[in-house]
Structure 1
Amino acid sequence: MPTKLMMIFVAFDIIFAACGGLLMGFSLVSEQTMRGDPTLDNVARNLLLDQCPLTAGVVNAIFIFVTFLLSLPALFLPTNRGWLRAQGWLVVFCAVFTLGLGLSVWVSTLQTRRQLGVMWGQQTPLIQSLLQQKFNCCGYHNSTSPPFIQDTTCTNSLVAAQKAGCIGDFSKFANGYLDLIFTAAFGMVGVDAILVLCVAMVIQYRNEQERYRHIDEKVGTGAF
């Protein structure tokens, strides 16, 4: 009959693997979406995802899956501690890896306006026009700086002058979207930390069981 400790350990081990699946799925789907044609729905999101470490996310997910596989022998070998130690160190590595990804996204949110300004200047007129239509704005700072792209939203200079620049709404969207990404990454680090504690407790529990077993063997030998 499995102990409560082992049940908690297995539960968080599965959650740990699920986090790896979510990270892998998000990274691969995002890369696939970015290769598609830009639309009003995905243009802003794709520009932000292009700045995220998606390839590193895939690599991190692979390490998470490998770590989960290393935990399986420990589940079927009730006295083993070597596999658990290996898993514990790999979970720490994955946690640091994930924390680094989350911090890189978080740091980018501290300079959102400056980075988006550079990003805007690097885009084609089509992308700039889609952004104008999405946020109902003209130009980045305003209709003249840089000059707006004439489209269905900014039909002429008079209409464009009456609309705000895209910097405000675009920055607000970027901060909200990137906040979700790095918050999810930090949440995964929290799961990693709990799993490390579970691994440490299981190792301690098995150490005690081994010690008691040795004591019983000595007592049994002496009695014999």
Structure 2
Amino acid sequence: MNKLKLVWWLLNLCLLAAGVVAIGYAAVVSKGEDLLISMAVTKHDEKIGTFTGACLLASFLLSIVAITRPVYRNKLLIAFNWTLVVNMCVATAVGTSIWFVSLRQRNHFAKVWVKQSPNEQAHLQNKFSCCGYYNATTEGLFMTALGFCADTEFAEAQRGCIDEITTRTDYTLENVFTSIYGFVGIVGALFLATVCVINERKLEVRFAKIDAKRGGSGFV
């Protein structure tokens, strides 16, 4: 039982860490200091990340209360396990949605590119020495003749920014959905560990009753 509790506590601390990481990353992204990260992770994604982290932390707090209850009171531990099921569903849905975005980045970020302001587009063009999204034509989503691309004739000979953008956003998206799937693994393992703890607590109560009937002679 002691080894089981140790494993349970380690997994529970991992749950705490996952919640802190989710909220912390959402807070960093919300500052908008990195334009590419802001393009890859939308405000909607930030809110979902914060919500996911908050759910994980709420489950952690419930677990502390539940595990400190007497061994014959397991309702809170059962409720805790239900919150873990909800967390697994939410995290899986979020991770999968981001994974789908990563599979169709070229088309997805074409829409994102169009929504950027001229200054933001110019910033990316200057940073990567490229012009437009696909190329420096109207069809290639060349919309900002500023900075590196101020000369339209020069711009026409330059490559588009698509490869530079998608290569870097791909790294961001892969790290995000991989981390979220990692959260799912932690929650799933903690769910199983909690089931084991509940069963062990029930056995402990059962043997205590048997021992009491035997006169408390140390059967358990």
**Fold match by TM threshold 0.5:** yes
What is the identity, as a one-letter code, of the residue corresponding to 1:204?
N
Structure 2 residue corresponding to 1:68, chosen from 30, 44, 60: 60
Deviations 1:85-125 (A, max 9, x none): 11111111111111111111111112211111111122221
1:39 aligned residue: none
Contact 1:148/1:160 (8 A) holds in 2: no
Contact 1:81/1:203 (8 A) holds in 2: yes
Q: Structure 1 residues 107 and 219, CA, compared in 2 at 3 Å: closer, same or farther?
A: same
1:170 aligned residue: 165
Structure 2 residue corresponding to 1:140, chosen from 133, 136, 140: 133
Contact 1:109/1:175 (8 A) holds in 2: yes
Contact 1:52/1:105 (8 A) holds in 2: no
Give me the TM-score of the superposition, normalised by structure 2. Answer: 0.89
**Which structure 1 residue ranges, 5 or more long, are not aligned?**
37-41
What is the identity, as a one-letter code, of the residue corresponding to 1:209?
E
1:1-224 equivalences under 5 Å are 3-31=2-30, 33-34=31-32, 42-50=34-42, 53-79=45-71, 80-144=73-137, 145-147=140-142, 149-220=144-215
Contact 1:139/1:165 (8 A) holds in 2: yes
**Which structure 2 residue ranges, 5 or more long, are not aligned?**
none
Looking at structure 1, the residues matched to 13 and 111 of structure 2 have their Cα atoms a distance apart, in angstroms, of 42
What is the identity, as a one-letter code, of the residue corresponding to 1:132?
Q
The farther-off stretch of 158-167 and 103-112 is 158-167
Looking at structure 2, the residues matched to 81 and 197 of structure 1 have their Cα atoms a distance apart, in angstroms, of 15
Looking at structure 2, the residues matched to 45 and 63 of structure 1 have their Cα atoms a distance apart, in angstroms, of 24
The farther-off stretch of 142-151 and 112-121 is 142-151
Looking at structure 2, the residues matched to 211 and 148 of structure 1 have their Cα atoms a distance apart, in angstroms, of 74
**Identity percentage over the alignment?**
27
Over aligned residues, Cα RMSD in angstroms? Answer: 2.0
Aligned residue-pair number: 214
What is the identity, as a one-letter code, of the residue corresponding to 2:29?
S
Looking at structure 2, the residues matched to 173 and 66 of structure 1 have their Cα atoms a distance apart, in angstroms, of 33
Q: Structure 1 residues 73 and 147, CA, compared in 2 at 3 Å: closer, same or farther?
A: closer
What is the identity, as a one-letter code, of the residue corresponding to 1:210?
V
Looking at structure 1, the residues matched to 123 and 109 of structure 2 have their Cα atoms a distance apart, in angstroms, of 15
